[in-house]
Copies of this chain bind each other. A is one copy, B any other.
Amino acid sequence: MDGTTTRPAPQARIRSWWGWGWADEHPADAECVAMGALLPGTLARPLPVPDVRDLVRGRRLGAPAVQPPAALAHLLTADPADRAAHAMGKAYRDVARALRGQPGRIPDLVARPTGEQDVADLLDWAGGHGTAVVPYGGGSSVTGGVEYRGDTHRAVLSLDLTAMRRVLEVDTEGRAARIQAGALGPDLEAQLRPHGLTLRHFPQSFEFSTLGGWLATRAGGHYATGPTRIDGFVQSMRVVTPVGTSGSWRLPSSGAGPSPDRLFLGSEGALGVITEAWMRLRERPRHKASAAVSFTDFHAALRAVRDLAQSDLSPANCRLLDAGEAALSGAAHDGSCVLVLGFESAHEPVGGSLARALDLARSHGGRHDADTGPAPDRGPDGTPGGDAAVGAWRAAFLRMPYLRDGLVRMGAVAETFETAATWDRVPALIDAVRTEVGAAALKATGHPATVNCRLTHVYPDGAAPYFTVLAAGRPDDGVALWDDLKAVAAEVLHRYRATITHHHAVGRDHRPGYDLQRPEPFALALRAAKDALDPRGILNPGVLVG
């Protein structure tokens, strides 16, 4: 559709059941063809947008294997489109399978609890009926986190938390709020805005992911430096498990034993269902400044980023795009790498910090066009501003998943993956991923592939490289091709002792890498905890343990 068309109001918009985000944001056929033309070896025409009715006709979507009890019937639906939309997440392999009419196992029922007791009742019922329960927030998992892949359960229930979407209490003095787990990003922020507060957690999936999903997957946020992972903003949580509900106290900090919340943060629905949390908030930033710096030498840019992360300047944004990524996002067209820098504060002017950061970047060979100058920033929440390169990057950032789906319709493999490693490993790790994944794609398809890298988060002791792979597909086995490429990538990550995931979570796709990464005694402890909390093994089976 034309980008200038007036879009319907959000409540009237339709979410895509097979691809990313809003159905009306998907690139039209002509745009898919134009994109495909840039990548050798793709199809001449896009695969058609799939139709749920074909799944019913093709008997991939039949009658549910269990009948909802009358007492819970008002929370449950067996609607085919609803069930299909809850079958998978939004990874390349999910979109590719949907386009080919081969989705994963479709849940028998979708439940939409309206409160904690509903969740407990649903778990009780499922436990007594051999039914696996897959907690579902915004459904934006790119690692198979919301897709049942086992065969040992009689039925599968997708537990959609999005009806539990309210900000229940706000403590303005202490800058915190009690928020239900099913609140999607924009809805959550809209409810906080009248209080002058913000969670300011802006993953790329912001529009299509929930607080509960962020907590369950330990999501990485907006801030490129400093505390950014959602973990650090949790004051307390409530989690419904099959053996009872866990509620931690609302505390600014405690040293009483291992943190209860930290066991459930990252538990990906395998230990319990997160129903609400008190979250630490911020005042909305009033001071912002951003700039883009270009570098000829990627390794020099890496050193600049490391120095910035180790300075006391604390940029809110410090994302480095390699030349390919900068070109793809329109941030540069001359083969430069681009460093996107941003500072923000509710109380303190930040122009001085940006100026010092630019000096530091220049000392590593960075170039910043002084005529453009630092300019106010524009955030996903609509605050004003915009340095041109920064704005181009951000618009592309939010558009990328839609374009990815367009490329998949052209038969391409288009996917991302991410990791984190200490600085001593980062340069060689990035080079190895580029080289080895690129070579594997060339060998498998006969066409050169694109393997770009950006740093999404940086730390004083390391960074989180994020890779984009664009490759010609193979007719009818694009998923297998991607699985092969991902295995090559995972092997490189393991060799460099880089994490299998920085913020995409483990899900089911990352289980082999996760099992290699986690210490065996911890795995024993986690399995024991799982058995204690979920004795019937109904919670998101196959995730993390079991």
Contacts and interface: CB of A to CB of B under 8 A. Distances in A.
B505 A253 contact: no
Interface stretch (A73-81, A263-271, A326-334, A397-405): A263-271
A497 interface: yes
B312 A217 contact: no
A428 interface: no
Given A227-B227, A266-B259, A457-B253, A247 B422 contact: no
Contacts of A247: 519
Contact of A217 (B171, B255, B518, B525): B255
Contacts of A246: 519-522
Interface residues of A, number: 94
Interface in A223-261: 227, 229, 235, 239, 241, 243-260
A312 B498 CA distance: 33
Interface string A96-131: 000000000000000000000000000000000000
Interface stretch (A10-18, A84-92, A458-466): A458-466
A251 to B, nearest CB: 5
A331 to B, nearest CB: 24
Contacts of A256: 266, 499-501, 505-506, 510, 514, 517-518
Contact of A532 (B264, B506, B528, B544): B528
A253 B239 contact: no
Contacts of A313: 347-348
Point out which of A250, A254, A310, A348 has the most chain B C-beta atoms below 10 A from its C-beta.
A254
Contacts of A463: 252
Interface string A515-537: 00111111011111101110000
Given A174-B422, A251-B420, A312-B348, 9 more contacts: A173-B424, A176-B461, A239-B521, A243-B521, A257-B544, A260-B522, A271-B525, A311-B347, A313-B348
Interface of A: 171, 173-176, 217-220, 227, 229, 235, 239, 241, 243-260, 262-268, 271-272, 280, 282-283, 306, 310-313, 345-348, 356, 420-424, 457, 459-464, 497-506, 510, 514, 517-522, 524-529, 531-533, 544
27 contacts: A171-B423, A174-B461, A220-B253, A241-B521, A246-B519, A249-B517, A250-B422, A251-B499, A252-B422, A252-B463, A255-B505, A256-B500, A256-B505, A257-B266, A257-B506, A257-B514, A258-B264, A258-B526, A259-B266, A263-B263, A263-B525, A280-B460, A312-B347, A525-B533, A526-B529, A528-B528, A528-B529
Closest 8 CB pairs of A and B: A252-B462, A525-B529, A246-B519, A528-B528, A528-B532, A252-B459, A254-B499, A260-B522
